[in-house]
Amino acid sequence: MKQLKCYDVLVTGTSGRIGPIWVDTLEDHGARVWGIDKDTCDVTNQSDINKYVFLMERNGFRPNVLINNAAIDNPPGSDATFWGNLDDIIAVNLIGAARMSAAVIPLMIERGGGVIINIGSIMGNIGADYRNYPEGFEKPISYNLSKAALVQMSRSITTQYGRYNIRGVTLAFGPVDIGLPESFLCKFLKNVPLGRPISIQSLQSAIVFAITCPELAGQQVLIDGGYTSL
- pTM recorded for the entire structure: 0.96
Q: Which CATH superfamily is domain 8-229 in?
A: NAD(P)-binding Rossmann-like Domain (3.40.50.720)
pLDDT digits (tens, 9 = 90+) for 118-152: 999 999 999 999 999 988 889 999 999 999 999 99
pLDDT digits (tens, 9 = 90+) for 139-195: 999 999 999 999 999 999 999 999 999 999 999 999 999 988 899 999 999 999 999
What is the spatial distance between Cα 23 and Cα 99, in angstroms, rounded to a whole number?
21
End-to-end CA distance of the chain: 38
Q: Residue 228: pLDDT above 60?
A: yes
- By the 8 A CB rule, do 199 and 230 touch? no
What is the spatial distance between Cα 104 and Cα 9, in angstroms, rounded to a whole number?
11
Q: Residue 229: pLDDT above 80?
A: yes
Confidence of residue 217 (pLDDT cuts 50, 70, 90): very high
Question: Could you state, in order of their start, the residue ranges of all structural domains in the chain?
Answer: 8-229
pLDDT digits (tens, 9 = 90+) for 78-91: 778 999 999 999 99
Q: Residue 5: pLDDT above 90?
A: yes
Percent above pLDDT 70 for the chain: 99
What is the spatial distance between Cα 43 and Cα 93, in angstroms, rounded to a whole number?
9
Q: What are the backbone dihedrals phi and psi of residue 166, each rounded to the nearest 5 degrees, phi first? A: -110, 130
Q: Which residue, 53, 144, 26, 19, is CA-closest to 93?
A: 144
Confidence of residue 1 (pLDDT cuts 50, 70, 90): low
DSSP string, 75-136: -BTB---TTTTHHHHHIIIIIHHHHHHHHHHHHHHHHT-EEEEEEEEGGGTS---GGGS-TT
Q: Residue 76: pLDDT above 90?
A: no
